[in-house]
Structure formats: C-alpha cells, structure tokens
A and B are shown apart, each in its own frame.
Chain A
Amino acid sequence: EAAVTQSPRNKVAVTGGKVTLSCNQTNNHNNMYWYRQDTGHGLRLIHYSYGAGSTEKGDIPDGYKASRPSQENFSLILELATPSQTSVYFCASGPGQLNERLFFGHGTKLSVL
C-alpha cells in the first residue's frame, strides 16, 4: 500500500512565526501536492511538484512556499504565519497520470494564534 506521511500531525504557531510542514512518500511518485481543507470549502490546491527540484503554484499559493529537495520529500513553508492560515493541510502523491488515484497523508492540523 502506498504511503504518505505528514509531520507534525498537530501544530500551534504564533502569528508572524515560521512554520514548516513536512511530507514524505514511499510510492516513488513523481507528483506531490499540498492541499488545505476548510469548513465550507473543498480541498484547495496550494502548491504541487512534478519531481525533485520542481515546485509550481496551485490555486491558492499566496502566503506559502514549497520545497521539493528529493523525490520522497515535499515541504510547505509559511514564512510569516497568519490566523487565516489556520486549517487542515493534506499532502498527496500521484504517479502523474490523470486517471491514477491520489494518495493522501493523514493531514496536519495547524492553528495560528
């Protein structure tokens, strides 16, 4: 079974602080994604990557950066966290073909106070 692991599972941050959310996948998938899920919204794409060294903006990238140092790891970085970034963040990986499933991590619950 494909595995996507996120850390931390829960995070409390202060406004203006830096937050890094980490994601590791053992699927050897080329594509990785960061989504956020908020009440009243579906999953919304923040950043994605085609492979090591690549990062692309998704639909709501403002206030976020991403880093893909290797095939296995994809990080989401909040340089200056704001309360509006309080959310549940999901990382996912996929092989890069449209009709293939996405494999999601268990999510990171972030609270910015």
Chain B
Amino acid sequence: GQQVKQSSPSLTVQEGGISILNCDYENDMFDYFAWYKKYPDNSPTLLISVRSNVDKREDGRLTVFLNKSGKHFSLHITASQPEDTAVYLCAAGANTGYQNFYFGKGTSLTVIP
C-alpha cells in the first residue's frame, strides 16, 4: 500500500491567505518528515523537515505540524504569495541506515493574486 498519502491533489488560495497542505502516513516507525517544493520541469527542493521528537517547527512563513498519534503532518504557509505556486511533496522515512523517504503524490498549490 501507499506509505505516504496526500489526499488533496490540488489547492487554491487567495494571496495573503494561509495554505494548509496535509499528509498522512502508515508506518509507525517513521521518525523523519519533510516537505519538498517542485516547480514544473524542475527538481524537488527541501523546504522544511522535522524529527519525531517535536510536534511543530517554524521557519519564516512555514510551519510543520506533526501529529504522531494520528500519523499525520501538515505544512502551513502563512501570507501566501503567487511565487508559492508549485507542487508540494511530503516525505516520511525511518532511520534504516539510508535515506529512503516515501513520497506522497503531491499537492498542486495555486496562489491567486
């Protein structure tokens, strides 16, 4: 089965609003969670990541919330800008000795000016 799921393939937000992207995972052993951003015809780049020993991490306009009991994590983007328009991939993994992250299918975020 799919280890990491992004249930919303797309999201549209007004400029200045808050974008909330969600991700669910299946494996209780996952202890690392990340969000990557991808522009069309470009490579994914890491936005923000968090370990399982915290339930929240902030970096500027970005906040990751982790709910381990619910096997869910989310990315909140405040004051959304048109340049935030991209595909957002969530990823989760466990410390198996190599970095095998399971990626979600992606959520396409569109920020309307």
A99 to B106, CA, bound (A): 21
- Known contacts being A42-B89, A50-B98, is A99 close to B43, with CB within 8 Å? no
Q: Evaluate contact between B102 and A106: CB separation under 8 angstroms.
A: no
Binary interface profile of A, 46-86, with partner B (CB < 8 Å = 1, else 0)?
Answer: 00101000001010000000000000000000000000000
Q: Evaluate contact between B43 and A107: CB separation under 8 angstroms.
A: yes
Q: Evaluate contact between A104 and B95: CB separation under 8 angstroms.
A: no
Using Cβ atoms and an 8 Å threshold, which residues of chain A touch B95?
98
A-B contact count (CB 8 A): 60
Using Cβ atoms and an 8 Å threshold, which residues of chain A touch B91?
43
A101 to B35, CA, bound (A): 10
Q: Evaluate contact between A104 and B4: CB separation under 8 angstroms.
A: no
Interface residue? A102 (CB, 8 A): yes
Could you tell me the distance in whole angstroms from the C-beta of B56 to the nearest C-beta in chain A? Answer: 16
A41 to B104, CA, bound (A): 7
Could you tell me the distance in whole angstroms from the C-beta of A74 to the nearest C-beta in chain B? Answer: 14
Q: Evaluate contact between B98 and A48: CB separation under 8 angstroms.
A: yes
Using Cβ atoms and an 8 Å threshold, which residues of chain A touch B103?
35, 42-44
Q: What are the 9 A-B residue pairs with the smallest beta carbon separation, nearest first?
A: A42-B103, A104-B43, A101-B46, A43-B103, A94-B99, A98-B95, A42-B105, A42-B104, A106-B43
Name A residues whose Cβ lies closer than 8 Å to a Cβ of B. 4, 31, 33, 35, 40-45, 48, 50, 56, 58, 90, 94, 96-102, 104-107
Instruction: Known A-B contacts: A31-B99, A42-B106, A50-B98. Give 19 more (CB < 8 A).
Output: A33-B99, A40-B105, A42-B4, A42-B104, A43-B44, A43-B103, A44-B103, A90-B43, A90-B44, A96-B99, A98-B32, A98-B94, A98-B99, A99-B49, A101-B46, A102-B101, A106-B41, A107-B42, A107-B43
